[in-house]
Amino acid sequence: MPMTIAEKILARASGRPSVQPDEIVVARVDLAMSHENADLVRKSFAEIGVKRVWDPERIVIILDHRVPAESERTATTHKAIREFVAAQGIRNFYDVGRGGICHQVLTERGHVLPGMVVVGTDSHTTTHGAFGAFATGIGATEMAGVWTEGELWFKVPSTIRIEVEGKLRPWVSAKDLILYIIGQLGSDGADYRAVEFDGAVIRTMSVASRMTLANLSMEMGAKVAFTPADEKLRDYLAERAPAALFEPVEPDPDAAYERVIRIDASKELAEPVVACPHSVDNVRPVSSLTDIEVHQAVLGSCTNGRLEDLEVAACLLSGHRVHPRVRLLVIPASQEIYLEAIKLGYIQTMLEAGAMINPSGCGPCVGVHQGILAAGENCISSTNRNFIGRMGSKDSRVYLASPAVVAASALAGHIALPAEVGEEVFA
Amino acid sequence: MSRILTGRVAAVLPANIDTDIIYPGRYLNITDREKTAEHLFELAYPEVRAAIQPGDLLVAARNFGCGSSREQAAAAVKYAGVGAVIAASFARIFFRNAINLGLPLVVSPEAVERVREGDVLELDLEHGVIRNHGREETYTAAPLDPRAIELIEAGGLVPHLKRKVMAHA
Ligand code: SF4
């Protein structure tokens, strides 16, 4: 029976020749990731009453949400997690200063391979679909179950295929494309579904950009989101996981899709877009928003804190100063990216422009430290959520955009098109 | 718990109630489930939390619980005393989290259209029927998966697995 990527992976993981949408299967889990909420998982795990986790080699724990600890409560959580991983022999533990944002670290350290079933106690675990994995977020209690049994039930999702042809225009990025798609489909437009991205635009994208697509697919409700496991991915993994076998999972040509969406990027995406408060599907072109004043600009997160994101921002900022009203916060997604950005001079460029560099981690994305917004403030951010109070006061407003739009807006002091910012600010 | 639940509707909420609205990120370092209830709806609907009596029902339009995987969102609803949530649809992770904590969720677009705050409803989880005695109306709901009913009856995934582990010990 012809199958989609999601169906093939779930069939294999549940030991069946084939599966169909809506069937419930019990799949073995290849990789189980947690961050600070490992503390919650640990508590549920202790309540269940087994002594040892099912497989310490398949558990990865990465501290990222509140690093370094911003309060005594968090410090206590971190400590409890350290003690737990030591007691259980969990070697894949990335402590403060050793990793960065969980989704970035998991991939750059070569933990994720095509065909895997990956679960994480974080909704943006969909990111790992850019590595060909069936990767999805689960809650802490459910993770305690995975730690106990190494398996989990899934309802086989139906698949939406999104083919993006044409070419992305200058200054239009993967972030703009996925925000555009979410704007079209709505914040529950892919609820419970798998998404397969393909087409010329996707094939030419970097692995980093594909991670942005898979990451944000969560914001239209997707359970998993795949980009092709092609030569580009093979090259990336050859460096990151040299010992691993590369076994891409391709959809069958006559696989059954719930829906096929075709997008001509050259025609449909004339310019960069922004997701306006307070939902990710409230998407508008940048040129319609240029009267919105910006008080804080954030460049970072699991969506857009990678080297190519810092590079585009550094190019725009080079030789210029951030607008006096704006605080520009830059958060390299991992220690590795941070170091690379130093070597390439991006960090110096951004510091000279007046940016503040935060340590690698989630930073202000989740609204707990390092860049909280006051009432009445607007933030342009390369992160992935603009919900009420996400980054601070319930009366603050978060606008989601690409790294280029964030940098351009930081210079202009209002939401701005990267192409125009040069003329306007430096005339 | 019984497969038939009765409760008063404490509030009827709009679509896309996200997990930051249900439980703000700033309290994610609270890992005692019972304590999460103090911050339910804190930023957007503090009056709803204040109005909830034990056993009350919450009703919401589509995509309730979208956003983060934070289990505290489901825990806060449960430990605030909510007996069940009825919505036109639920976001995926919230749905699993709630069932895993033993909080019943019922999908019924029809009920969401018709019920008002203060109505008293009787929910038949197994057969997917909601009765509104005050209005003499009956609504169809999606019957809860037997696996979900089993978990809810066990009091959630932890007690369920505990029993399973003990049985094998
Ligand atoms: S960067 Fe933001 S969205 Fe990504 S894992 Fe951290 S808190 Fe979640």
Whether A239 has a pLDDT exceeding 70, the answer reads: yes
Q: What is the pLDDT of residue B30?
A: 87
CA A135 to ligand 1 centroid distance, Å: 16
Structure tokens given for A179: 């925000």
Residues in the ligand 1 pocket, defined by CB under 6 Å: A 64-65, 101-102, 122, 124, 301-302, 362, 365-366, 383-384
Nearest Cβ partner for B92 among A66, A192, A368: A192
* Whether pLDDT at A139 is above 90: yes
**Mean pLDDT of each 10-residue bin along chain B, 169 residues long:** 87 95 91 91 94 97 94 96 97 94 96 97 96 95 92 94 85
Q: In this structure, are strands A259-264 and A159-165 parallel, antiparallel, or unpaired?
A: parallel
| Cross-chain Cβ contact B29/A387 below 8 Å | no
**pLDDT 10s digits, A362-407:** 999 999 999 999 999 999 999 999 999 999 999 999 999 999 999 9
> What pTM was estimated for this model as a whole?
0.94
Query: pLDDT tens digits for A323-338?
Result: 999 999 999 999 999 9
Confidence tier at A424 by pLDDT (50, 70, 90) = low
pLDDT tens digits for range B47-78: 999 999 999 999 999 999 999 999 999 999 99
- List the A378-381 sheet strands across, edge first: A283-285, A273-275, A397-400, A378-381, A296-299, A327-330, A356-357
Do A366 and B28 lie within an 8 Å CB cutoff?
yes
Give the 3-state DSSP-derived string for B128-167, with helices as H, strands as E and coil as C.
CEEEECCCCEEEECCCCCHHHHHHHHHCCHHHHHHHHHHH
Nearest protein CA to atom 6 of ligand 1, as residue: A362
Determine the pLDDT at residue A427: 45
- Give the mean model confidence (pLDDT) for residues A109-129: 98
pLDDT in tens, A258-273: 999 999 999 999 999 9
Average pLDDT over residues A230-250: 95
CATH number at residue B100: 3.20.19.10
Q: Do A188 and B20 touch (CB under 8 A)?
A: no
The alpha carbon of A387 and the centre of ligand 1 are apart by a number of angstroms equal to 13
- CATH number for the domain whose boundaries are A5-245+255-263: 3.30.499.10
Q: Residues spanned by CATH 3.30.499.10 within chain A? A: 5-245+255-263, 281-363+370-426
The ipTM assigned to this model is 0.89
Which CATH homologous superfamily contains domain A281-363+370-426? Aconitase, domain 3 (3.30.499.10)
Domain extent for B13: 4-168
pLDDT band of A161, cuts 50, 70, 90:
very high
What pLDDT is recorded for position B32? 86
How many domains, chain B? 1
In sequence order, the 6+-apart residues with CB closer than 8 A to the CB of B13 are B45, B48, B58, B59, B60, B61, B64
Q: Which residues of B touch A (CB under 8 A)?
A: 16, 18-21, 24-26, 28-31, 43-44, 62-63, 66-71, 74, 89, 91-93, 96-97, 100-101, 145, 147, 156-158, 161-162, 165-166
